[in-house]
Amino acid sequence: MSQPTVSPPPPVAAASAGLGWLLRMAWRDSRRGRGRLLLFVAGVALGIAALVGINSFGDNLARSINEQARELLGADLVLSASQPFDSALVPALRQLSPVQSQEQAFGSLVQFPRVRGVRLAQVRGLSGGFPYYGAWDVRPAGAVAAYRAGRGALVDDVLLAQFGARVGDSVRVGRSGFLIVGRVLHTPGQSGLGSAVAPTVFIPGAAVAGTGLVQRGSRVQYRRYFRFAPGVDAAAKIKPFETRFDQANIDSDTVASRQQRTGRAFHDLTRYLGLVAFVALLLGCVGVASTVSLYVREKLAPVAVLRCLGASGRQALLIYLIQTAGLGLLGALLGAALGAGVQAVLPRVLGDFLPVAVRVGVSWPAIATGVGAGLGLAVLFALLPLLSIRRVAPLRVLRAAFEADTAAPDPLRGLVLALLAAGIFGFAYFQTREWKLALGFGAGLAAALGALAGLGWGLTWAVRRYFPGGWGYVWRQGLANLYRPQNQTLVLLTSIGLGTFLLATLYLTQGLLLGRVATADAGRQPNLVLYDIQPAQRAGVEALLAQHRLPVMQRVPIVTMRLAAINRQTVSALKKDTAGGKGIPAWILSREYRVTYRDTLSRTEKLKAGTLPRLGPGGVPYVSVDNGYFERAQLKLGDTLTFNVQGAPLLTVVGGTREVDWSRVQTNFLVLFPNGVLEGAPQFHVVLTRTPNTAALGAVQQALVREFPNVSALDLGLILQTVDDILSKISFVIRFMAGFSIATGLLVLASSVVVSRYQRTRESVLLRTLGASRRQILRITLVEYALLGLLAALAGIALAALAAWALAAWVFEASYAPNPLPLLGLAAGVAALTAAIGLFNSRDVLRRPPLEVLRAEG
């Protein structure tokens, strides 16, 4: 046989159709799938909406904080101290600015005589024109002028609302009574939440002395507010005073520092909420992968035809990549538009937490980030199933059952997975700016997905391996659907399981936090703390408690002091070192220490190292410090701590450490002195008692206000309620964001079910043609989807229980006993929802004649 003539040269270059043709083919091919892929678009859109919403809100909040920075502080500079300002310093302070206000702030029980209400409040005695920036939101409008004229008090709306008191009533603070001239809805620099925790009563500055509440040893915060001429740099202005301020323990706060601190706190908040939104996006992307995977299975035949006609594997892949990227882009744009709406709602959702009024506006960087991340991740997730397209053999046109082409392992798949992992980690880092958190997020997500996927594989294997052949037809058919070709077991278990995991984790964590606080109010623990009791008043207060048949459960003397030096190195020097990275936290150096003295440990303390507090050689006090404090302050036994006890230096030696259970309602202390040192120092006492009911509580508070007006009473029941309120608000915010994940999970579920509808319809129609009744088809569908939903939900809940247990054990160090009933309810709800979506999808098959359905499905 002769060799053939070789003419023309071998045309081995790939077909030359360009981008235009690829775009055209992508458009043409999508014609029949657009409706079905719409749910995929919606899944991506929801995820991106959540992300764009929270990040836009974050940007808007940051901008608003910048714009309203002065209103945050209400002045250009605030100086604060726990002692009256040194008279030697006052003339110098006057030079800073002639426009200034003074304030004395302290906690005290206040009483509303008309309604007989008593509550601990923050009392602020103001003189001068503060606030200089921003305005009090006060009703009636003229109330501020009346207050400044010294005609009465302004009271937080929260406080008035609690007791049903109103403007025109009087409020009693210490020995003085004040006419309530206005209710305060908003004070510059204070969030709604701040008011809830510590509602404020503003009294005229000149009237503070008359209350009798400011005495030696009282815990009072002294503040001075300054207003500078426009353009004056506050930081530069106080620079020359820094050393003197340090020596006098005066803290300064400028507009810039407040702006930075508030900005950073809310930046962190929105970043973390962004992470919750990111989960929604990832769920949407899991949906993309599952939808595209089912879609690709349908496209194998047309791809083989294209390959047969001369399209390269790359061209075939690009057609479908363009298609999914186009849909992803559509989803991203819809998501961005929706996100712009979400960010307009978020200020209302977060209202109580916000220190400034957020000006809503479109944040293009947030939109670009959301669209970029959403599109990128959606395309990467879609690539996982799409990759197989480039390996579809044209031989499929002759042999439809040929499967060897896409079955072999694909090295590019590993690359896409690596890119995905990098993308997820990268974005988590971008959101949080913390390597550890981003790694933890990635690892946690991978573990959850891995566990759910493992469960999916295990389930299909187990059902196949231990198939209950003896069960009824409906059960066998429904169970077989879990492992037959084109089953959705893995996809649905992963997506529904992840959604349930998020929901259950939120629920369990909230329960954990509330449970932790609730134990404070349980059983025989103290529920009322009386403090600011002067030494001379102690016996009287205890006698008053006895009159009311209330026990004295604990009595503790407290001395306030500040840290002056560690190992004779001054705090100022240490602060500079810390700024250089030595790592003693600033709060250790700057805080006010409230210490007590005794030679024994309480029930909440355990000796960890060294000795109990004792007097050492030469009468030097050997103090005991909390173990965590000991580590953070980088101390060793034998180190010295010098304290400034209200002006007098006191050298101590670290003689031992204690492990303190801070969750118990006790007076707990970082630093414990021995007896025989502080007895002569200015001090106050704390007495803990337990009231059996609110009537007894009200009675003792009334008596306290009457007889010991300077003594404050902290009602732990009220604290518990406030914490509950705060947690409810926080969990509402998180639920709002997690709601996107749930909605996305449902969309993923719906889209998986809808995309697989064609095959399922054919099967169901075939069954009906062979004589299956509608009822049987309905029950088969019900068994399959209810089982899938139930297993996914149980898996998600089990993972959440594990996560909550880990949080309880390692983070909160609390006991963990979740109530199983709501969790079982959640599982039943998810299973019912899944089955309902499955049944809704099958409604056509049940309603219409088989042939009509087949024709309609094409």
Tell which one of 113, 210, 302, 540 touches other proteins (CB under 8 A): 302
> x-or-dash pattern for other proteins, window 246-285, by CB under 8 A?
----------------------------------------
The residue written with tokens 């809830």 in the block is 196
CB of 308 to other proteins, least distance (A): 6
Q: Give the dihedral of Cα atoms 10, 12, 15, 16; nearest 10 deg.
A: -80
854 lies in the binding site for other proteins (CB under 8 A): no
The residue range among 12-20, 234-242, 510-518, 792-800 that interacts with other proteins, by the rule CB under 8 A, is 12-20
Of the candidates 525, 528, 531, the residue with the CA atom closest to the CA atom of residue 556: 531
Tell me the two tokens of residue 295: 């879609």
Q: Which residue has the tokens 């991203």?
A: 332
Q: Is 140 in the site for other proteins (CB under 8 A)?
A: no
| Contact (CB, 8 A) for 750 and 38 | no
Q: Which residue has the tokens 């600015």?
A: 97
Q: How far is the CB of 846 from other proteins (least distance, A)?
A: 24
Containing H/E element for 59? helix 34-67
Cβ proximity to other proteins: between 2 and 693 the closer is: 2
Q: Is 19 in the site for other proteins (CB under 8 A)?
A: no
Distance CA 274, CA 53 (A): 9
Distance between CA atoms of residues 111 and 116, nearest Å: 7
**16 vs 87, which CB is nearer to other proteins?**
16
- Answer for which of 54, 184, 306, 804 binds other proteins (CB under 8 A) is 306
User: Is position 411 an interface residue for other proteins (rule: CB under 8 A)?
Assistant: no
Q: Is 394 in the site for other proteins (CB under 8 A)?
A: yes
Q: Which is nearer to other proteins, 429 or 758 (CB)?
A: 758
In whole angstroms, how close is the CB of 848 to other proteins at the nearest point? Answer: 18
Q: Please, are residues 104 and 219 in contact by the beta-carbon 8 Å criterion?
A: no
Query: Least distance to other proteins from the beta carbon of 318, Å?
Result: 13
Alpha-carbon span 227 to 8, nearest angstrom: 90
**Binding of residue 14 to other proteins (CB under 8 A):** yes
Determine how β-strand 77-81 pairs with β-strand 200-204. Answer: unpaired
Q: Does 397 bind other proteins (CB under 8 A)?
A: yes
Measured from the CB atom, is 679 or 852 closer to other proteins? Answer: 852
Task: Rule CB under 8 A: say whether 393 interacts with other proteins.
Answer: yes
Rounded-to-integer distance, Cα 59 and Cα 365, Å: 9
17 binds other proteins (CB under 8 A): yes
* CA–CA separation, 51 and 433 (whole Å): 16
- Asked if residue 326 binds other proteins (CB under 8 A), the reply is no
Q: Hey, how many other C-beta atoms are within 10 angstroms of the C-beta on 403?
A: 11
Under rule CB under 8 A, which residues in 692-731 are in contact with other proteins?
Answer: none
Residue 193: what residue type?
Answer: L
Q: Is 21 in the site for other proteins (CB under 8 A)?
A: yes
CA distance 478 to 498: 23
How many of the chain's residues bind other proteins (CB under 8 A)?
Answer: 45
Report the relative pairing of strands 592-597 and 614-615 from DSSP bridges: unpaired
Angle at 58 between CA 54 and CA 62, to 5 degrees: 170
Q: Taking CB under 8 A as the rule, does residue 11 contact other proteins? A: yes
Q: Of 152, 313, 515, 709, which lies in the binding site for other proteins, with binding defined by CB under 8 A? A: 313
CA distances 641 to 325, 587, 629, 653, 668, Å, are: 64, 15, 13, 6, 19
Residue 775, Cβ neighbours under 10 Å: how many?
10
Angle subtended at Cα 744 by Cα 740 and Cα 747, rounded to the nearest 5 degrees? 145
With 0-12 / 13-18 / 19 or more C-beta atoms within 10 angstroms meaning exposed / middle / buried, residue 835 is buried
Nearest-angstrom CA–CA distance, 150 and 455: 71
Pairing between β-strand 554-566 and β-strand 684-689 as defined by DSSP bridges: antiparallel
Least CB distance from residue 311 to other proteins, whole Å?
Answer: 6
Binding segment for other proteins among 60-68, 392-400, 751-759, 799-807 (CB under 8 A)? 392-400
3-state secondary structure of 480: helix
Least Å from the CB of residue 30 to other proteins: 7
Query: Minimum distance from CB of 409 to other proteins (Å)?
Result: 17
CB of 382 to other proteins, least distance (A): 19
CA dist., res. 373 & res. 282, Å (int): 10
Amino acid at 240: P
Q: Judged by CB under 8 A, which stretch of 152-160, 305-313, 615-623, 682-690 contacts other proteins?
A: 305-313
User: Is the Cβ of residue 6 or residue 141 nearer to other proteins in the bound state?
Assistant: 6
Return the number of the residue (29 or 725) whose C-beta is nearest other proteins: 29
Which member of 124, 223, 271, 307 binds other proteins (CB under 8 A)?
307
Token reading at 513: 């936090």
Residue 571 in contact with residue 564, Cβ under 8 Å? yes
* Residue corresponding to tokens 């003419």: 7
- Our CB check for other proteins shows the closer of 229 and 404 to be 404
The stretch near other proteins (CB under 8 A) out of 3-11, 339-347, 483-491, 555-563 is 3-11
In terms of CB distance, is 308 or 419 closer to other proteins? 308
Stretch that binds other proteins, among 289-297, 301-309, 626-634, 803-811 (CB under 8 A): 301-309
Q: How does 550-579 read in b/e, with b if 16+ C-beta sit within 10 Å?
A: beebbbbbbbbbbbbbbeeebbeebbeebe
Query: Judged by CB under 8 A, does residue 446 bind other proteins?
Result: no
Cα separation of 395 and 383, whole Å?
Answer: 23
Among 398, 806, 811, 824, binds other proteins (CB under 8 A): 398
Q: Tell me which of 24, 116, 151, 264 binds other proteins, using CB under 8 A.
A: 24
Query: Which CB sits closer to other proteins, 405 or 784?
Result: 405
From CA 719, how far away is CA 716, in angstroms rounded?
5
CB of 381 to other proteins, least distance (A): 23
* Residue 13 in contact with other proteins, rule: CB under 8 A: yes
User: Which member of 145, 149, 235, 309 binds other proteins (CB under 8 A)?
Assistant: 309
Tracing tokens 């190195």 back to the chain, one arrives at 569
Q: Which helix (H) or strand (E) holds 531?
A: strand 528-533
- Of 9, 10, 18, the closest CA to residue 312 belongs to 18
Rounded CA-CA distance 840/754 in Å is 10
In this chain, which of 102, 221, 257, 312 binds other proteins, going by CB under 8 A? 312
Report the residue number, 311 or 544, with the smaller CB distance to other proteins.
311
- The interface region with other proteins, picked from 219-227, 397-405, 534-542, 791-799 by CB under 8 A, is 397-405
Residue 380: CB minimum distance to other proteins, A: 24
Extract the tokens encoding 16.
């030359």
Residue span binding other proteins (CB under 8 A) among the ranges 21-29, 129-137, 809-817, 842-850 = 21-29
Question: Least distance to other proteins from the beta carbon of 769, Å?
Answer: 20
Residue 300 as a binder of other proteins (CB under 8 A): the answer is no
Measured from the CB atom, the residue of 232 and 397 that comes closer to other proteins is 397
For every residue of 452-491, DSSP letters joined together read: HHHHHHHHHHHHHHT--TTS-HHHHHHHHTTTSTT--HHH
Nearer to other proteins, 24 or 464 (CB): 24
User: Which residues does 154 contact at the CB level (< 8 Å), separation at least 6?
Assistant: 136, 138, 143, 144, 147, 180, 181, 182, 183, 184, 201, 202
The DSSP result for 504-527, as a single string, is HHHHHHHHHHHHHHHGGGSTTS--
Binding marks (x or -) toward other proteins, 25..64, rule CB under 8 A? ---xxxxxx-------------------------------
In whole angstroms, the minimum distance from the beta carbon of 268 to other proteins comes to: 49
Which of 39, 61, 269, 311 is the binder for other proteins (CB under 8 A)?
311
Q: What residues make contact with other proteins under the rule CB under 8 A?
A: 1-8, 10-18, 21, 24, 28-33, 301-302, 305-315, 393-395, 397-399, 858
